[in-house]
Structure 1
């Protein structure tokens, strides 16, 4: 009974905080679904010179989403010249530096597509956690004091058993910090480097939870997959959602290894599993988009122009899959708001965004964004507006209107001095936070 009451309490507290918070505490916001807290007033129009509250320089590139809590903004950076990984805190009101820590020195990437600073931080307003693709997990107090640190690379290895530069973002559930590590099951060599612990015969994929205050391990659960080779690899992050918008059980959703799974967030136990979108065992189908859920439906985007799949969170059974090739996502994580999914296809021709009913799969509309550049930043939503940017740093604002598609604003930022733009926008405290690689902008009316 105590365990049941604890689970109910966690679910209710998560719901209340998510609805009321003005913060953006995780990669996908307070609801874990790309949507900001209610009641904010966010600008529809902004530019490098319009509605700028402040802008600040950061020492390197990153694909991480800024995380905001009150007067604190947390970002990561990979300084490719100095070969340093940074954990950074700025003042949310002024953009002034509060503190910056060099968390490691040495290699900052394994390929030319991304770097080890891609995972987003997470905070509860008492402390903040940073994870890097090097395996370093570091927790700081809000004023920058290091509280604990762990490296999740298995003994005997230098890198995860991952072909590309590893990334996944931590989340918080109650007192626990939860991580997922979905990787290949055997070591291999790629790019002249060993991936995974040398000599290992079986490398696990798993979920692990640590007490956020102490770093003590709370639980660990294997999360196996029957995929092969690169298809075992996932850049996804776990998310929390309830089995109904007005209540229901809280579940931890994990996508990767050719499967979507639901877990008990108090112990990692697998509750259900759906798969697969890859019945022929294609070996290069790594997964990038994280799952998203709403109306009791969990959505998973299969890779490489494949369909989107919707699964009932109570039964673990497939409800529908998309039939229109426009409704697909190889990289962008969809969002959920007010009874609708919004799926951004950053690969399709002039790029498309679709509004979909969760339980039926009915596509209410699909709109053309009108950019030739790829889109790999995930959409975020607040105050009736959907925000995202393309690789060239062009930012789009689309109306979150299930009745019709309309672009409210588009503006060039165009900072390609370091890398393509992949950062999602954060929406907090009536402000829009945009990471344009070495510059962090704060916009407001």
Structure 2
């Protein structure tokens, strides 16, 4: 075959692969780590039968967001009957359960949560599951086991008051696992009484540590605990892994683990300042929702060492989230206080100026907003989905759809012009009925 034909074929395959990947939802916050997607043709309304492409059964709850990659949908679940922790794979086209692997034992009762809170992570050929038990396992896309380890057995109890929920991050050919916890364990096992918080990088192929670095803090009591996940960030050619929790935001070099900078966002040492909502970033700013809905900070990147207040570009002091990670979409930052006022605020992502604010009625919203096709989607604890018009001058709720199965705490995923919605006992694929 002539060399130019080989080049054309290689380019064609690469472009097809890129196109397929662009239609996936490979991270719990989507392809851009910000809760949004470029997908179009998404539904505005549906019912239990209309626009439901398929509905798959799950054996029990799981708070992790569905992850969609190369024609497969991955979720975590607690099998309540058999007291086991499962990694599950459904076929994206029709919802057929392709495999379900038992990864660990469900031996803890988590208040207002479960042991399957982290989402799956993927690298295009392997899928990774982690649970509150410390079980961390890798499989190929056909369900073949590749490796397994238990980081709780290695490094002590990782369970927080409401369970471990940090999702592994796949970035720069590494898997990053974060454990931010108090020095003494919340619950059994309590065989170790001096626990370190840490970030570690693993080889996705083998599960072996590439590096592990401790994360020091002067936090007190519950403020040690972080439920959020690592976030990748790049500024002026410098790649970083951002962590939020234990009163600090920190940045680490993904190659070496070296800490690049830190900022103390909670210097008053409130003993109850555990953080749940996570970070999101644009190209120019890092958005940090301070614990318990205190406010939201926009941090200027590019610093080094210990940063002071000069790193703050602006602050938003309106209703802010305790649980829901902010959404960045089409130049706007959406901030959802799903616990107290149920207030949704739309801010200019560059300046922090409030564009509009409105209220979502009903029970608490523990999930995070997702967006695509000019619409925002979120689901409350009792399974009601809100479809909201993005942008505009005021809150416009397009529709409200009640799904079966509560509690529903997983964020909604978007891929291939479909919505993937997780409730306590179902995984739904929602799409326009006239779409093949």
Give your verdict on TM over 0.5.
Answer: yes
Residue 269, structure 1, aligned to residue 270, structure 2: no
What secondary structure sits across from 1:375 in the alignment?
coil
Residue 282, structure 1, aligned to residue 270, structure 2: yes
Q: Equivalents in 1 of 2:400, 2:283: separation in Å?
A: 31
> 2:316 matched to which residue of 1?
322
Q: Equivalents in 1 of 2:431, 2:29: separation in Å?
A: 20
> 1:10 matched to which residue of 2?
none
Query: Which deviates more from structure 2 when the two are superposed, residues 248-257 or residues 284-293?
Result: 248-257
Q: 1:166 offset after TM fit, Å?
A: 1.7
Residue 395, structure 1, aligned to residue 395, structure 2: no
After superposition, residues 85-96 of structure 1 pair within 5 angstroms as 85-96=85-96
Q: Equivalents in 2 of 1:252, 1:356: separation in Å?
A: 25
> 2:249 matched to which residue of 1?
260
> 1:386 matched to which residue of 2?
376
> 1:443 matched to which residue of 2?
430
Residue 430, structure 1, aligned to residue 395, structure 2: no
Residues 219 and 98 of structure 1: CA distance in aligned 2, closer, same or farther (over 3 Å): same
Q: Equivalents in 2 of 1:19, 1:383: separation in Å?
A: 18
Q: 1:143 offset after TM fit, Å?
A: 0.2
After superposition, residues 401-416 of structure 1 pair within 5 angstroms as 401-416=391-406
Q: Equivalents in 2 of 1:221, 1:358: separation in Å?
A: 32
> 2:217 matched to which residue of 1?
225
TM-score of the pair, normalised by structure 2: 0.89
Q: Equivalents in 1 of 2:153, 2:354: separation in Å?
A: 44
After superposition, residues 211-250 of structure 1 pair within 5 angstroms as 211-243=203-235, 248-250=237-239
Q: 1:440 offset after TM fit, Å?
A: 0.6
Q: Equivalents in 2 of 1:17, 1:334: separation in Å?
A: 27
Q: Equivalents in 2 of 1:156, 1:269: separation in Å?
A: 20
Contact 1:252 1:265 in 2 (8 A): yes
Q: 1:123 offset after TM fit, Å?
A: 0.8
Contact 2:332 2:391 in 1 (8 A): no
Q: Equivalents in 2 of 1:414, 1:144: separation in Å?
A: 29
Residue 44, structure 1, aligned to residue 44, structure 2: yes
> 1:27 matched to which residue of 2?
28
Q: 1:60 offset after TM fit, Å?
A: 0.8
Residues 156-209 of structure 1 deviation map (CA, whole Å, 9 limit, x = unaligned): 84x326333222100101211111010112x24x5xx446543x4x42111111
Long gaps (5+) in structure 2: 1-13
Q: 1:444 offset after TM fit, Å?
A: 0.8
Q: 1:19 offset after TM fit, Å?
A: 11
> 1:373 matched to which residue of 2?
363
Residues 134 and 421 of structure 1: CA distance in aligned 2, closer, same or farther (over 3 Å): same
Match for 2:161 among 152, 156, 163? Answer: 163
Residues 18 and 355 of structure 1: CA distance in aligned 2, closer, same or farther (over 3 Å): farther
Residues 312-364 of structure 1 deviation map (CA, whole Å, 9 limit, x = unaligned): 1223511222222x2x1000001112222111110233x11111123322111
What secondary structure sits across from 1:153 in the alignment?
helix
Q: Equivalents in 1 of 2:294, 2:206: separation in Å?
A: 42
> 1:183 matched to which residue of 2?
181
Number of residue equivalences: 411
After superposition, residues 4-19 of structure 1 pair within 5 angstroms as none
Match for 2:332 among 312, 327, 340? Answer: 340
